[in-house]
Structure 1
Amino acid sequence: MPRFTSGELKVMSLLWAHGELKPAELQELFPEPIKNPAIRSYLTVLLEKGHVSRRREGKAYYYKAITRSRSAFRTMLDELAEACCGGSVRTLVMNVIKSEKLTEEDLIALKRLADEEGSKASGS
């Protein structure tokens, strides 16, 4: 899956959150001021990369995410792990835990999550 630029990811996030949208609707929802040609440029690239589909209704085009957010997240996580931690997602997570100011509640929640995943993996 080709990686996203920052702007492409913002467009994808809006499509994941809101479903099918026209360029003007994306422009309105965009987190910072952006001109319509820039939105259309992002959509063209995302269409070419195969991340979005487009359908025409009257004179308007509607765009919809094809790539799922979970799939994109996993790809970006793997890329970050590869770039920063020799490909180890475990090392990446450990570094995030060390660098963040986690509360005791956060650590308990992480432990609970790890325990749940461990019991799933062992088939219990």
Structure 2
Amino acid sequence: MSTEPLSRREREILDILFRLRGGSAAEVRAEMSEPPSDSAVRTILGLLCDKGHARRRKEGRKYLYAPGTSPGRAKRRALSHLVRTFFGGSKEDAFAYWIDEEAGQLSDEELDRLAERIQQARKSRRQK
């Protein structure tokens, strides 16, 4: 899988593939905001396949496209990229920034669940 950044259109199409869990070029195009031509969508899908971000299989006369990786792996890669790019690789700084920015938006129950997850992480680390 290529590590080069995706263009805005590539990212949009890949997001749609994850949301739909795959589909034809026409189905992807129907979900796009301000979609380009049919051939442009097919070209971008082909580029995503070439880069390893998507995969295709032929069904009848058309191709069906799907994400080239699991949602979990895609989340880890995207989050890792974000932490490296904006927080110098510091997970603590990224998490602290998010808490500081979102604290007013989180309910007491959400904050309690986050605190519980931190406690669970501590416990599992001690058990190793």
Q: What TM-score do you get using the length of structure 2 for normalisation? A: 0.79
Counting aligned pairs with the same residue, the percent is: 28
What SS does the corresponding residue of 1:33 show, helix, strand or coil? coil
- Relative to 1, partners in 2 of residues 1:99 and 1:120: Cα closer, same or farther, differing over 3 Å? closer
Alignment match of 2:17 (pick from 12, 15, 18): 15
Letter in 2 for 1:116: R
Letter in 2 for 1:93: F
In 2, Cα distance between equivalents of 1:95 and 1:120: 19
Corresponding residue number in structure 1 for 2:81: 79
What SS does the corresponding residue of 1:61 show, helix, strand or coil? strand
Corresponding residue number in structure 1 for 2:51: 49
What SS does the corresponding residue of 2:66 show, helix, strand or coil? strand
What SS does the corresponding residue of 2:56 show, helix, strand or coil? strand
Could you list the runs of 5+ residues in structure 1 that have no partner in the other structure? Answer: none
Equivalences, count: 123
What SS does the corresponding residue of 1:122 show, helix, strand or coil? helix
- Relative to 1, partners in 2 of residues 1:96 and 1:113: Cα closer, same or farther, differing over 3 Å? closer
In 2, Cα distance between equivalents of 1:84 and 1:104: 23
Find runs of 4+ consecutive structure 1 residues off by over 4 angstroms. Answer: none
Alignment match of 1:30 (pick from 20, 32, 36): 32
Shift of 1:60: 0.9
In 2, Cα distance between equivalents of 1:51 and 1:12: 8
